């Protein structure tokens, strides 16, 4: 057993011994008791349910993916002003600072200090047999309790803090991808409601004119009351549709404003909005292989960093079963008189190594180790769940892409056919072959078909956005090259 009550080194060699101890600590602290990390196997199929070509979609810049300049301006404003994204950026700063705090524990802390002590010694404790009041002064450089990381506890804490920091950075990138996607879809929703509102207004104006004509004919007895009431129902239904669309467009604008982070009117002169039919959003996106998601998706990388942090915390829990060795040292001058503090012979030093060995802790260390292992298993489950969610999002978008394309083609053909029905019915009505009820039914069906086409175009564009973000796109700002 070591006896630290007597000097184990001479004052002459104290600084050298301290430096040597620190160097040995640095060499021996390279070990770690954390388990060797092995990435869990991805719990997904090797291919998507729909075949797709190879491509690095994540490298496709969002400016290139969204050519609409008004939409580009809105996305850029959201990246600059959105509060959720700002919070994510601040979380990165906090995680970086926490990592710096933890990493600092791997190095000794030195402090310069000056102290003065004054006290009374009673007579029965005085070597002279008389009480006296004494004063002492000290000045020097002190090293606070520095842990020699023989068993990797400090290193594991630093690894866990680094993984948490990297996870937070990946989470910010996930938030950016989500924000770009949400702004684009909110913009398309607002535009879809605007187009439907314009269509409803045109329909209402047309039906009001028809109603006035029928009312004039009714007043002179050339039209029945049934025709008048039927025409009135068309007018009122158009008003209901218009009011509904005005409300929905206003709410869509509010949602877009919230995402952008400031009123749209404060963004300056924005380019004119493009119609859904003229949008050049990339819809034919190659998805590649499911294994590519492990590198493309920042939320998967974030989940893996959390798993790495949990793995490192097992090393911290394991190290608690072994002795903790710390060093406290100081070197300087001390004197009973302030004027003699820096005189010859006033040099002083101290060196106090300490070993703490856990003997009985009521099962605390074992419980902490069990807890860290359970948390790692939870992190594994979260990591696998994140991968499965990513695979599902891509698969859903791919499965819907083909049918939506077919639906759009069919909807356009249906609208064209319905326009022909209205034209023929109107001609027959003027020739007295078709009734007024026939022409109103045809016009009602045409209005429904026009609205359905707008909604289908929005769905198809939203599907492309879903696939783009699901594949990890939305981080870069690569612009379209021009020749």
pLDDT in tens, 227-282: 888 888 889 999 999 999 999 999 999 999 999 999 998 888 899 999 999 999 98
Q: What pLDDT is attached to residue 11? A: 44
Q: Report the C-alpha gap between 225 and 204 in whole angstroms.
A: 21
The first and second tokens of residue 441, run together, are 């039914």
Q: Report the C-alpha gap between 167 and 306 in whole angstroms.
A: 6
Q: What pLDDT is attached to residue 53? A: 57
Q: What pLDDT is attached to residue 54? A: 59
Work out whether the CA dihedral 466, 471, 473, 479 comes out positive or negative: negative
pTM: 0.82
Q: Do the beta carbons of residue 177 and residue 474 sit within 8 Å?
A: yes
The stretches of 29-119 forming alpha helices (DSSP H) are 62-65, 69-81, 83-104
Q: Report the C-alpha gap between 150 and 251 in whole angstroms.
A: 61
Q: What pLDDT is attached to residue 293? A: 85
Q: What pLDDT is attached to residue 434? A: 82
The first and second tokens of residue 206, run together, are 């047309």
Kindly report the number of other CB atoms within 10 A of residue 62's CB atom. Answer: 26
Kindly report the number of other CB atoms within 10 A of residue 174's CB atom. Answer: 23
Q: What pLDDT is attached to residue 419? A: 94
Q: What pLDDT is attached to residue 354? A: 83
In which residue ranges of the chain is pLDDT below 70? Answer: 1-31, 51-58, 478-483
Shortest CA distance to 276 belongs to which of 201, 194, 191?
A: 191
Domain boundaries, the chain: 31-106+149-322+358-470
Q: Do the beta carbons of residue 369 and residue 317 sit within 8 Å?
A: yes
Strands 324-335 and 132-148: antiparallel
Q: Do the beta carbons of residue 335 and residue 341 sit within 8 Å?
A: yes
Q: What is the rounded (10 degree) CA torsion for 366, 367, 371, 373?
A: 20
Kindly report the number of other CB atoms within 10 A of residue 317's CB atom. Answer: 22
Class of domain 31-106+149-322+358-470: mainly alpha
Q: Report the C-alpha gap between 211 and 231 in whole angstroms.
A: 6
Q: Report the C-alpha gap between 388 and 399 in whole angstroms.
A: 16
Q: Which residues pair with 332 in a beta bridge?
A: 140, 348
At a CB cut-off of 8 Å and minimum separation 6, what does 124 contact? none
């Amino acid at each position: 057993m070591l006896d630290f009550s007597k000097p184990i080194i001479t004052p002459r060699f104290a600084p050298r011994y301290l430096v040597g101890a620190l160097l040995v600590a640095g060499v021996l602290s390279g070990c770690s008791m954390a388990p060797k990390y092995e990435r869990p196997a991805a719990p997904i199929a090797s291919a998507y349910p729909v075949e797709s070509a190879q491509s690095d979609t994540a490298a496709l810049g969002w400016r290139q993916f969204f050519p609409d300049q008004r939409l580009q301006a809105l996305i850029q404003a959201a990246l600059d002003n959105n509060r959720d994204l700002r919070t994510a950026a601040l979380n990165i700063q906090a995680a970086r600072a926490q990592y710096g705090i933890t990493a600092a524990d791997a190095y000794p802390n030195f402090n310069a200090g000056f102290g003065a002590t004054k006290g009374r010694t009673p007579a029965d404790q005085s070597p002279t047999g008389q009480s006296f009041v004494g004063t002492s002064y000290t000045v020097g450089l002190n090293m606070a309790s520095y842990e020699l990381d023989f068993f990797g506890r400090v290193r594991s804490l630093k690894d866990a803090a680094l993984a948490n920091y990297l996870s937070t950075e990946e989470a910010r990138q996930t938030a950016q991808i989500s924000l770009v996607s949400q702004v684009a879809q909110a913009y398309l929703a607002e535009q879809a409601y605007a187009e439907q509102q314009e269509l409803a207004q045109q329909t209402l104006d047309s039906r009001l004119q028809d109603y006035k004509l029928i009312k004039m004919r009714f007043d002179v007895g050339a039209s029945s009351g049934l025709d008048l009431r039927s025409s009135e129902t068309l007018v009122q239904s158009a008003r209901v549709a218009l009011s509904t669309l005005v409300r929905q467009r206003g709410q869509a604008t509010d949602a877009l404003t919230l995402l952008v982070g400031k009123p749209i009117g404060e963004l300056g002169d924005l380019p004119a909005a493009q119609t859904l039919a003229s949008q050049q959003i990339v819809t034919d996106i190659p998805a590649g292989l499911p294994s590519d998601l492990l590198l493309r998706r920042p939320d998967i990388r974030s989940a893996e960093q959390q798993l790495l942090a949990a793995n490192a915390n097992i090393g911290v829990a394991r190290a608690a079963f072994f002795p903790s060795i710390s060093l406290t040292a100081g070197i300087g001058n001390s004197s009973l008189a302030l004027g003699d503090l820096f005189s010859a012979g006033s040099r002083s030093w101290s060196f106090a190594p300490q070993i703490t060995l856990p003997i009985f802790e009521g099962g605390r260390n074992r419980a902490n180790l069990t807890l860290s292992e359970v948390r790692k298993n939870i992190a594994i489950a979260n990591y696998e769940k994140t991968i499965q969610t990513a695979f599902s999002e891509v698969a859903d978008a791919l499965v819907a892409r083909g049918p939506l394309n077919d639906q759009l083609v069919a909807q356009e053909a249906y609208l064209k056919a319905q326009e022909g029905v209205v034209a023929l019915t109107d001609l027959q009505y003027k020739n007295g072959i078709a009734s007024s009820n026939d022409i109103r039914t045809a016009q009602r069906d045409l209005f429904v078909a026009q609205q359905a086409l707008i909604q289908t175009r929005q769905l198809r564009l939203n599907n492309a956005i879903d696939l783009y973000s699901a594949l990890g796109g939305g981080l870069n700002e690569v612009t379209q090259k021009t020749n």
